[in-house]
Amino acid sequence: MDAPVIEKKRFFCREWAFMKLSHCLEQRPASKTCGTLIVGGPGSGKTAFCAELAWPSNNASARHQRSLNRRLLARHFCQTRSEASLSPAQFVRSLVAQLLQTSSERIRHSSSISSSPTIFTTEVTNITMSETITTTTMTVTTPVTTSSTTTVLSSKEAVAEAYVEKLKTDPEIQAALQPKVLDRDPDDALKKALLFPLLEIEPPKNSLFLLVDSIDEGQTLNSLQTGTRDSRRENDHVSRTIAELLANHHHLFPQWLLLVCTARRQSKTISRMFTGFRKISLDDLRKSQIIRDIQQYILARLDQEDALRY
Protein backbone atom coordinates (compact mmCIF):
# COMPACT_ATOMS: atom_id res chain seq x y z
CA MET A 1 0.00 0.00 0.00
CA ASP A 2 1.37 3.43 -0.93
CA ALA A 3 1.78 6.00 1.81
CA PRO A 4 -0.68 8.89 1.63
CA VAL A 5 0.58 12.27 0.55
CA ILE A 6 1.76 14.67 3.26
CA GLU A 7 -0.13 17.79 2.25
CA LYS A 8 1.94 20.94 2.79
CA LYS A 9 -0.46 23.76 3.64
CA ARG A 10 0.17 27.43 4.30
CA PHE A 11 1.67 27.68 7.76
CA PHE A 12 0.92 30.28 10.44
CA CYS A 13 2.45 31.15 13.84
CA ARG A 14 4.12 28.62 16.20
CA GLU A 15 7.31 30.71 16.37
CA TRP A 16 7.54 30.00 20.10
CA ALA A 17 7.46 26.24 19.47
CA PHE A 18 10.27 26.44 16.91
CA MET A 19 12.30 28.49 19.38
CA LYS A 20 11.73 25.92 22.13
CA LEU A 21 12.81 23.15 19.81
CA SER A 22 15.92 25.14 18.88
CA HIS A 23 16.71 25.48 22.57
CA CYS A 24 16.35 21.71 23.08
CA LEU A 25 18.68 21.15 20.14
CA GLU A 26 21.31 23.52 21.50
CA GLN A 27 21.11 21.88 24.93
CA ARG A 28 21.39 18.34 23.57
CA PRO A 29 25.17 17.85 24.10
CA ALA A 30 24.82 18.59 27.82
CA SER A 31 21.39 17.02 28.33
CA LYS A 32 20.77 13.73 30.12
CA THR A 33 17.80 12.94 27.88
CA CYS A 34 18.06 12.50 24.14
CA GLY A 35 14.61 13.61 23.09
CA THR A 36 11.70 16.00 22.86
CA LEU A 37 8.05 14.95 22.66
CA ILE A 38 5.66 17.34 20.91
CA VAL A 39 2.12 16.64 22.06
CA GLY A 40 -1.38 17.81 21.24
CA GLY A 41 -4.87 16.53 20.60
CA PRO A 42 -6.15 15.40 17.19
CA GLY A 43 -6.13 18.33 14.77
CA SER A 44 -3.84 20.48 16.90
CA GLY A 45 -1.30 20.78 14.08
CA LYS A 46 1.39 18.24 14.95
CA THR A 47 1.81 16.95 11.39
CA ALA A 48 1.64 20.48 9.97
CA PHE A 49 4.39 21.49 12.41
CA CYS A 50 6.56 18.57 11.25
CA ALA A 51 5.87 19.28 7.59
CA GLU A 52 7.00 22.86 8.15
CA LEU A 53 10.25 21.56 9.63
CA ALA A 54 10.76 19.17 6.71
CA TRP A 55 9.75 21.63 3.96
CA PRO A 56 9.87 25.14 5.48
CA SER A 57 8.06 28.13 4.03
CA ASN A 58 9.98 30.83 2.18
CA ASN A 59 8.50 33.90 3.85
CA ALA A 60 10.41 36.14 6.23
CA SER A 61 8.64 34.81 9.32
CA ALA A 62 9.88 31.27 8.65
CA ARG A 63 13.53 31.87 9.55
CA HIS A 64 13.35 29.66 12.65
CA GLN A 65 12.05 26.63 10.78
CA ARG A 66 14.51 27.14 7.92
CA SER A 67 17.34 27.21 10.43
CA LEU A 68 16.04 24.02 12.04
CA ASN A 69 15.61 22.36 8.65
CA ARG A 70 19.34 22.70 7.99
CA ARG A 71 19.91 20.56 11.08
CA LEU A 72 17.29 17.92 10.27
CA LEU A 73 19.20 14.70 9.69
CA ALA A 74 16.16 12.63 8.67
CA ARG A 75 12.38 12.54 9.09
CA HIS A 76 9.58 9.98 9.11
CA PHE A 77 5.80 10.38 9.03
CA CYS A 78 3.73 7.55 10.53
CA GLN A 79 0.20 7.28 9.15
CA THR A 80 -2.53 4.78 9.93
CA ARG A 81 -3.59 4.50 6.29
CA SER A 82 -0.09 3.43 5.26
CA GLU A 83 1.07 0.08 6.58
CA ALA A 84 4.53 0.70 5.14
CA SER A 85 4.97 3.92 7.11
CA LEU A 86 4.33 1.99 10.35
CA SER A 87 6.88 -0.75 9.65
CA PRO A 88 10.03 -0.68 11.83
CA ALA A 89 12.02 -2.25 9.00
CA GLN A 90 10.86 0.38 6.49
CA PHE A 91 11.64 3.05 9.05
CA VAL A 92 15.28 1.94 9.22
CA ARG A 93 15.46 1.74 5.43
CA SER A 94 14.09 5.26 5.03
CA LEU A 95 16.65 6.73 7.45
CA VAL A 96 19.52 5.08 5.57
CA ALA A 97 18.09 6.27 2.25
CA GLN A 98 17.95 9.86 3.47
CA LEU A 99 21.56 9.78 4.61
CA LEU A 100 22.58 8.44 1.21
CA GLN A 101 20.49 11.10 -0.50
CA THR A 102 22.12 13.90 1.51
CA SER A 103 25.56 12.61 0.57
CA SER A 104 24.72 12.21 -3.13
CA GLU A 105 23.13 15.67 -3.33
CA ARG A 106 26.24 17.26 -1.87
CA ILE A 107 28.40 15.49 -4.44
CA ARG A 108 26.17 16.57 -7.33
CA HIS A 109 26.10 20.21 -6.27
CA SER A 110 29.75 20.57 -5.35
CA SER A 111 31.82 22.30 -8.02
CA SER A 112 35.02 20.67 -6.79
CA ILE A 113 33.83 17.05 -6.75
CA SER A 114 32.84 14.60 -9.45
CA SER A 115 31.46 11.09 -9.21
CA SER A 116 33.48 7.98 -9.94
CA PRO A 117 32.02 4.60 -11.00
CA THR A 118 29.75 2.88 -8.53
CA ILE A 119 31.59 0.78 -5.98
CA PHE A 120 28.78 -0.40 -3.75
CA THR A 121 25.08 -1.10 -4.12
CA THR A 122 22.53 -1.78 -1.40
CA GLU A 123 18.77 -2.16 -1.25
CA VAL A 124 17.21 0.65 0.76
CA THR A 125 14.08 2.77 0.76
CA ASN A 126 13.58 5.81 -1.40
CA ILE A 127 11.43 8.43 0.31
CA THR A 128 10.06 11.61 -1.23
CA MET A 129 8.09 14.62 -0.01
CA SER A 130 4.89 12.66 -0.53
CA GLU A 131 6.38 9.97 1.73
CA THR A 132 5.75 7.27 -0.89
CA ILE A 133 7.84 4.36 0.29
CA THR A 134 9.18 1.96 -2.30
CA THR A 135 12.04 -0.50 -2.21
CA THR A 136 14.70 0.45 -4.70
CA THR A 137 18.39 0.04 -5.39
CA MET A 138 20.54 3.04 -4.54
CA THR A 139 24.18 3.41 -5.42
CA VAL A 140 26.96 4.90 -3.37
CA THR A 141 29.72 6.53 -5.37
CA THR A 142 33.23 7.49 -4.43
CA PRO A 143 33.86 11.22 -4.80
CA VAL A 144 37.06 12.26 -6.56
CA THR A 145 38.54 15.65 -5.76
CA THR A 146 39.19 17.61 -8.94
CA SER A 147 40.08 20.96 -7.43
CA SER A 148 42.21 22.26 -4.61
CA THR A 149 39.22 24.23 -3.34
CA THR A 150 37.93 22.81 -0.06
CA THR A 151 34.16 22.50 0.19
CA VAL A 152 32.81 23.50 3.59
CA LEU A 153 30.35 20.87 4.73
CA SER A 154 27.34 21.54 6.90
CA SER A 155 26.97 19.38 10.00
CA LYS A 156 24.29 17.35 8.25
CA GLU A 157 26.47 16.80 5.18
CA ALA A 158 29.50 15.90 7.28
CA VAL A 159 27.54 13.21 9.13
CA ALA A 160 26.10 11.84 5.88
CA GLU A 161 29.53 11.72 4.25
CA ALA A 162 31.10 9.94 7.22
CA TYR A 163 28.22 7.47 7.38
CA VAL A 164 28.45 6.64 3.67
CA GLU A 165 32.17 5.97 4.02
CA LYS A 166 31.42 3.47 6.78
CA LEU A 167 28.60 1.91 4.77
CA LYS A 168 30.91 1.29 1.82
CA THR A 169 33.64 -0.37 3.85
CA ASP A 170 31.91 -2.12 6.75
CA PRO A 171 30.46 -5.54 5.82
CA GLU A 172 28.53 -5.71 9.11
CA ILE A 173 26.52 -2.61 8.18
CA GLN A 174 25.88 -4.01 4.71
CA ALA A 175 24.77 -7.34 6.14
CA ALA A 176 22.36 -5.66 8.58
CA LEU A 177 20.66 -3.87 5.67
CA GLN A 178 19.95 -7.03 3.69
CA PRO A 179 16.15 -7.22 3.23
CA LYS A 180 15.61 -10.58 4.93
CA VAL A 181 17.83 -9.65 7.87
CA LEU A 182 16.23 -6.25 8.29
CA ASP A 183 12.68 -7.56 8.11
CA ARG A 184 13.44 -10.32 10.60
CA ASP A 185 15.13 -8.14 13.22
CA PRO A 186 14.79 -4.35 12.79
CA ASP A 187 16.17 -3.82 16.31
CA ASP A 188 19.50 -5.36 15.41
CA ALA A 189 19.52 -3.52 12.09
CA LEU A 190 18.88 -0.16 13.73
CA LYS A 191 21.82 -0.70 16.06
CA LYS A 192 24.30 -2.20 13.61
CA ALA A 193 23.37 -0.24 10.49
CA LEU A 194 22.71 3.18 12.04
CA LEU A 195 23.29 3.84 15.73
CA PHE A 196 26.66 2.14 16.17
CA PRO A 197 28.13 3.76 13.01
CA LEU A 198 26.81 7.18 14.07
CA LEU A 199 28.39 6.74 17.50
CA GLU A 200 31.75 6.05 15.86
CA ILE A 201 31.92 9.05 13.54
CA GLU A 202 33.36 12.39 14.57
CA PRO A 203 30.68 14.56 16.24
CA PRO A 204 29.48 17.36 13.95
CA LYS A 205 29.98 21.02 14.80
CA ASN A 206 26.26 21.48 15.50
CA SER A 207 23.74 19.08 16.99
CA LEU A 208 21.24 17.51 14.59
CA PHE A 209 17.81 15.98 15.09
CA LEU A 210 15.71 13.06 13.89
CA LEU A 211 12.01 13.86 13.41
CA VAL A 212 9.26 11.22 13.75
CA ASP A 213 5.66 12.36 13.39
CA SER A 214 2.66 10.55 14.95
CA ILE A 215 4.76 7.94 16.67
CA ASP A 216 1.67 6.70 18.50
CA GLU A 217 -0.15 5.68 15.29
CA GLY A 218 1.43 2.25 15.16
CA GLN A 219 0.69 1.57 18.82
CA THR A 220 -3.07 1.78 18.26
CA LEU A 221 -2.95 -0.46 15.21
CA ASN A 222 -0.73 -2.97 16.96
CA SER A 223 -3.06 -3.26 19.95
CA LEU A 224 -5.85 -4.28 17.58
CA GLN A 225 -3.66 -6.97 16.04
CA THR A 226 -2.23 -8.45 19.23
CA GLY A 227 -3.74 -11.84 18.56
CA THR A 228 -2.10 -12.13 15.13
CA ARG A 229 1.52 -11.46 16.08
CA ASP A 230 3.93 -14.15 14.95
CA SER A 231 5.50 -16.26 17.69
CA ARG A 232 9.08 -15.28 16.92
CA ARG A 233 8.46 -11.61 17.59
CA GLU A 234 6.45 -12.44 20.69
CA ASN A 235 9.19 -14.62 22.16
CA ASP A 236 12.28 -12.72 21.06
CA HIS A 237 11.00 -9.27 22.03
CA VAL A 238 11.53 -7.81 18.57
CA SER A 239 9.99 -4.35 18.34
CA ARG A 240 6.61 -4.47 16.62
CA THR A 241 6.23 -0.72 16.18
CA ILE A 242 8.45 2.27 15.49
CA ALA A 243 7.62 3.59 18.96
CA GLU A 244 8.87 0.39 20.56
CA LEU A 245 11.95 0.41 18.35
CA LEU A 246 12.95 3.92 19.40
CA ALA A 247 11.95 3.49 23.04
CA ASN A 248 14.17 0.40 23.26
CA HIS A 249 17.21 2.06 21.72
CA HIS A 250 17.09 5.84 22.15
CA HIS A 251 19.70 5.52 24.90
CA LEU A 252 22.16 4.58 22.15
CA PHE A 253 21.70 7.85 20.26
CA PRO A 254 24.94 9.84 19.98
CA GLN A 255 25.15 12.90 22.21
CA TRP A 256 24.86 15.21 19.20
CA LEU A 257 21.57 13.72 17.93
CA LEU A 258 18.18 14.76 19.32
CA LEU A 259 15.11 12.55 18.84
CA VAL A 260 11.97 14.64 18.23
CA CYS A 261 8.62 12.82 18.16
CA THR A 262 5.01 13.90 18.04
CA ALA A 263 2.09 12.09 19.65
CA ARG A 264 -1.43 12.68 20.91
CA ARG A 265 -1.46 14.25 24.33
CA GLN A 266 -3.78 11.49 25.56
CA SER A 267 -1.32 8.71 24.69
CA LYS A 268 -0.17 7.53 28.12
CA THR A 269 1.66 4.57 26.59
CA ILE A 270 3.96 6.88 24.64
CA SER A 271 4.54 9.05 27.70
CA ARG A 272 5.67 5.98 29.64
CA MET A 273 7.89 4.82 26.78
CA PHE A 274 9.68 8.14 26.56
CA THR A 275 9.89 9.12 30.21
CA GLY A 276 12.20 12.06 30.71
CA PHE A 277 11.69 13.55 27.26
CA ARG A 278 10.99 17.26 27.34
CA LYS A 279 7.39 17.95 26.31
CA ILE A 280 6.17 20.78 24.10
CA SER A 281 2.37 21.07 24.07
CA LEU A 282 0.75 22.65 21.02
CA ASP A 283 -2.76 23.01 22.48
CA ASP A 284 -2.47 23.84 26.18
CA LEU A 285 -4.88 26.76 26.41
CA ARG A 286 -3.39 27.77 29.75
CA LYS A 287 -0.33 29.03 27.87
CA SER A 288 -0.47 32.61 26.59
CA GLN A 289 1.57 31.84 23.47
CA ILE A 290 -1.03 29.30 22.33
CA ILE A 291 -3.88 31.78 22.79
CA ARG A 292 -1.81 34.26 20.80
CA ASP A 293 -1.30 31.64 18.07
CA ILE A 294 -5.06 31.21 17.73
CA GLN A 295 -5.64 34.95 17.53
CA GLN A 296 -2.87 35.49 14.98
CA TYR A 297 -4.06 32.53 12.90
CA ILE A 298 -7.60 33.94 12.66
CA LEU A 299 -6.35 37.42 11.78
CA ALA A 300 -3.90 36.10 9.19
CA ARG A 301 -6.55 33.98 7.49
CA LEU A 302 -8.97 36.92 7.40
CA ASP A 303 -6.28 39.18 6.00
CA GLN A 304 -5.16 36.80 3.25
CA GLU A 305 -8.40 35.09 2.20
CA ASP A 306 -11.14 37.39 0.92
CA ALA A 307 -13.74 34.62 0.93
CA LEU A 308 -13.62 34.43 4.72
CA ARG A 309 -14.56 38.09 5.14
CA TYR A 310 -17.92 37.84 3.39
Bigger pLDDT: 52 vs 309: 52
Average pLDDT, the chain: 81
- Residue 141 falls inside a structural domain: no
Give the residues across from 263 on adjacent strands.
Answer: 39
What is the Cβ-side half-sphere exposure of residue 293, based on CA atoms within 13 angstroms?
21
Lowest mean pLDDT among 107-121, 176-190, 244-258: 107-121
Whether the Cβ atoms of residue 80 and residue 221 lie closer than 8 Å to each other: yes
The whole-angstrom separation of Cα 294 and Cα 43 is 13
| In-domain check, residue 1 | no
What integer pLDDT is reported at residue 241 of this predicted model? 95
Residue 247 is predicted with a pLDDT of: 95
In a domain, 113, yes or no: no
Q: Is residue 182 part of a domain?
A: yes
Which residues constitute the domain of residue 280?
15-107+154-222+239-303
Residue 230 within any structural domain of the chain:
no
Answer yes or no: is pLDDT of 64 > 60.
yes
Split at pLDDT 50, 70, 90, the class of 1 is very low
Q: Would 127 be classed as within a structural domain?
A: no
- Please list, residue by residue across 94-126, b when 16 or more beta carbons sit within 10 angstroms of its beta carbon and e when fewer do: bbbbbbbbbbbebbeebeebeeeeeeeebebbb
67 Cβ neighbours under 8 A, 6+ residues apart: 22
- Is residue 284 one of the residues assigned to a domain? yes
pLDDT of residue 58: 87
Is the CB of residue 223 less than 8 Å from the CB of residue 88? no
Let me know if residue 124 belongs to a domain. no
- The model carries a pTM of 0.81
Number of domains in the chain: 1
The answer on pLDDT for 70 being more than 70 is yes
CATH number at residue 287: 3.40.50
